[in-house]
Amino acid sequence: MMTLALQNLTRRLFRSGITITGVAVAVGCLACLLAFGEGYRNGLRRELDGMGVQMMLVPLGCPYDAAARVLKGKTLDVSLPLTALTAARADAAVAVAAPLLMATLPRPSEGRTDCWVGVDESIRPLKPWWKLKAGSRWFADADSVILGAEAAATELREVGDMLYSPETGRRFRVCGILERSGTSDDSLFFIQLHTAQVMFHQPDRLTAIAIRLRDPGLVTGAIERLQKTPGAQVVTLAEMLGTFLNLVGAVRTLVMAVAVLAVTISVLTVFNTMLASVLERTGELAILRAVGASRGQVFRLLALEALLLTVVGSLIGLLLALATGHSIEAVVRHFVTLAPDGSLLSLSGTVIGQCLLVGLATGIVAGLYPAWQASRLPPARALRAVGT
Amino acid sequence: MASLGLAIGTALLYAVLSLSARTGDVLVAHADARDFVSREQPSVGLCPWREEARDRRQFFPTATDVRDETLILSGKRLEVARQLGRASTTEENALKVYRILRHDDVLGSVVARRVRGESGVIELLLAVGANGDVLGARLQRLREPEEVAQALQSARWLGAFIGKNRASAWRIGADIPDVPPAARSSATAILEAAHAMLVLLSVADSAPVSGAIP
């Protein structure tokens, strides 16, 4: 039957070629759209992850003022108990909870303020842009300080130098200097959390807890649970996250609309080809029936022809997407000048599988009716038609 | 039909790309915000004069005006290096000088410089007379422990600068009073900086500097 189906398709090579081309273009288009959709979503997610913090636990008060103050490296008038950190770290949705204790020491005669930040090791995953200059290392002891690039330049400090805090009488050794990042971290003095708590007389207190979730999608549940922490409230980067999710959702909807349209056109093309083929081959099919072919055999033959057209078209479409994807990406990048870093084309196994499944489904849907029509032809009537 | 599909598909793809471009705005703002803050700024060597009125009253009580100049010394590097006894640093290619005026007469100059102290930056301010002698010195800012800060800011120690010039000896413990051992490192850095400032000022004033920016 396969041979017969192939012969039928190759007998009308031009028509078959046009149909296969239509399917290939549709599947190629679908593959590219899905791959770009996935790649863009992944890229944006990477960028969001790169921002480190997704929500913050801050003391009760105006949450947005608190978040703005913490993000800008300013202190809060109230503080959190250490138990809030335990609660945050125990939450299943929380990947990283980093405690922060911030304190400022104004130096009005110099027109500046020293901002000291107590941190622990957990801050590092939340600050992916942090790069320590050569010779730097993480806190060696309670008297170590890591300086932001601007702070080090202002104080003319290098790794190994001493740094004195006249207001608190503490002396530190510079164990690390951060490379310039363009963030407020550049002008901060980072010390160990416990040291900061002792230095600023805030035992077991925190200014804020920076939180990163295992998955941004878990944000709603995490907020509900963490809001119950006594004396604390959650501030999310909800606006940004919401905007991000909405835009990606809108893009996905449009992409799916294009995909549905392409597939529909592909189905109609195959349907048209097969129906025309049935009408043209009425006599031929009647002879088949007359020589003993069952309705089921005729149905399967036509269905197989439709499937062959779509499978071959789908494979060519995928090859087309693979071959031209990177060129199309270059064009896309021309339009989207600030697209996320990394490849936008994510032609993953899932995308390829989805495209092949859609190709098969197209063949089945498009071939069903013509095959059914062909199988219902009465041999005698068909032969009469041939005779006239 | 395939062509029609292709045309519609292209139109929709363009719409998707347009929307994606707007999606990118979120990142634009992010990137721009970083750019605004992250510009490298010249810091070493440039030191502000923080309390101009107070210092003028103290060092130049008859002054009527101040004019600041930025002198470019890159053309005199050999002379600077010869007088310093070492190669000049990049920041020593320029010198910000505050000319102290009494009407049209120059009474002297004020120069300020950031010095690497033992425990943080020290800002040294020198008032220099028209003849090149030091009229007074002040530490505008320092981050040293109390004992060290007291020694370095004492009238006895800073007062010893008065009358000295680029040709004077600046040895600690001999020409300048000694300081406690804890302050020795920062004191040495201050003396080196004071001498360097006088050398730079002297070289700059020895002949017109082509790059002077009034």
Interhelix angle A238-280/A295-335, rounded to 10 degrees, is 140
What is the distance of C-alpha A93 from the center of its chain? Answer: 18
Cβ pair A110:B30 closer than 8 A = no
On average, the pLDDT of chain A sits at 82
Report percent pLDDT > 90 for chain A. Answer: 21
Tell me the chain A residues in contact with residue B9 when contact means C-beta distances shorter than 8 Å. 29, 258, 261-262
CA atoms within 13 A on the CB side of A22: 28
Cβ pair B143:A164 closer than 8 A = yes
Minimum Cα–Cα distance from B46: chain A residue: A154
Q: Sign (positive/negative) of CA torsion A363, A368, A370, A372?
A: positive
Site of tokens 């597939």? A263
CB contacts < 8 A, A to B, total 140
Please indicate if any CB of chain A lies within 8 Å of the CB of B42.
no
Cβ pair A258:B149 closer than 8 A = no
Q: What is the pLDDT of residues A138-197, one digit of tens each?
A: 998 999 999 999 999 999 999 999 999 988 899 999 999 999 987 778 889 999 999 999
The pLDDT, as a whole number, for residue B35 is 31
What SS3 class is residue A59? strand
* Selected residue of B4, B13, B38, B124 to mutate for chain A interface (largest A Cβ count, 10 A): B13
Q: What is the pLDDT of residues A205-256, one digit of tens each?
A: 898 899 988 887 788 888 889 888 888 888 776 555 565 667 667 777 877 7
- Window 152-171 of B: residues touching A by CB (8 A cutoff) are none
Nearest CB neighbour to B20, from listed A47, A111, A336: A336
The residue type found at A154 is T
What is the distance of C-alpha B112 from the center of its chain? Answer: 7
**Average confidence (pLDDT) over B15-43:** 32
What is the enclosing helix (H) or strand (E) of A70?
helix A63-71
Cβ pair B26:A337 closer than 8 A = no
Please indicate if any CB of chain A lies within 8 Å of the CB of B144.
yes
Q: What is the pLDDT of residues A283-318, one digit of tens each?
A: 777 777 777 778 888 888 888 888 888 889 889 988
Instruction: Tell me how close the Cα of B62 comes to any Cα of chain A, in angstroms.
Output: 25
The pLDDT, as a whole number, for residue B18 is 36
Distances (CA, A) of A34 to A94, A264, B137: 30, 16, 71
Instruction: Tell me how close the Cα of A363 comes to any Cα of chain B, in angstroms.
Output: 16
Round to whole Å and give the CA distance between A55 and A64. Answer: 11
Tell me the chain A residues in contact with residue B15 when contact means C-beta distances shorter than 8 Å. 254
The pLDDT, as a whole number, for residue B198 is 95
Site of tokens 């499944």? A357
Cβ pair B9:A29 closer than 8 A = yes
pLDDT at A116 over 50: yes
Q: What is the pLDDT of residues B124-161, one digit of tens each?
A: 999 999 999 999 999 999 999 999 999 999 999 999 99
Instruction: Tell me how close the Cα of A266 comes to any Cα of chain B, in angstroms.
Output: 7
The pLDDT, as a whole number, for residue B176 is 94
Cβ pair B37:A155 closer than 8 A = no
Q: What is the pLDDT of residues A332-373, one digit of tens each?
A: 776 665 566 667 777 888 888 888 888 888 888 888 888 888
Please indicate if any CB of chain A lies within 8 Å of the CB of B31.
yes
* Contact assessment for residue B114 and residue B48, using Cβ atoms and an 8 Å cutoff: no
pLDDT at B4 over 50: no
* Contact assessment for residue A161 and residue B126, using Cβ atoms and an 8 Å cutoff: no
Q: What is the pTM of this model?
A: 0.59
3-class SS letters over chain B? CHHHHHHHHHHHHHHHHHHHHHHHHHHHHHHHHHHHHHCCCCCCCCCCCCCHHHHHHHHCCCCCEEEEEEEECHHHHHHHHHHHCCCCCHHHHEEEEEEEEECCEEEEEEEEEEEECCCCEEEEEEEEECCCCEEEEEEEECCCCHHHHHHHHCHHHHHCCCCCCCCCCCCECCCECCCCHHHHHHHHHHHHHHHHHHHHHHHHHHCCCCCCEC
Nearest CB neighbour to B1, from listed A109, A243, A269: A269
The pLDDT, as a whole number, for residue A384 is 67
Lookup: tokens for B115: 């010095």
Minimum Cα–Cα distance from A129: chain B residue: B34
Which of A105-114, B2-11, B20-29, B122-131 is predicted least confidently?
Answer: B20-29
**Average confidence (pLDDT) over A370-388:** 71
3-class SS letters over A130-196? CCECCCCCCCCCCCEEEECHHHHHHHCCCCCCEEEECCCCEEEEEEEEECCCCCHHHHEEEEEHHHH
Instruction: Tell me how close the Cα of B1 comes to any Cα of chain A, in angstroms.
Output: 7
Report percent pLDDT > 70 for chain A. Answer: 86
A150 phi-psi bin (left φ>0, alpha ψ -120 to 50, beta other): alpha
Q: What is the pLDDT of residues B174-193, one digit of tens each?
A: 899 999 999 999 999 999 99
Cβ pair A51:B30 closer than 8 A = yes
**Average confidence (pLDDT) over B186-201:** 95
On average, the pLDDT of chain B sits at 79
* Contact assessment for residue B8 and residue A261, using Cβ atoms and an 8 Å cutoff: yes
ipTM of the complex: 0.72
**pLDDT interval class at B16 (50, 70, 90):** very low
**Average confidence (pLDDT) over A376-381:** 73
Longest CA pairwise span in chain A (Å):
112
Instruction: Tell me how close the Cα of A337 comes to any Cα of chain B, in angstroms.
Output: 7
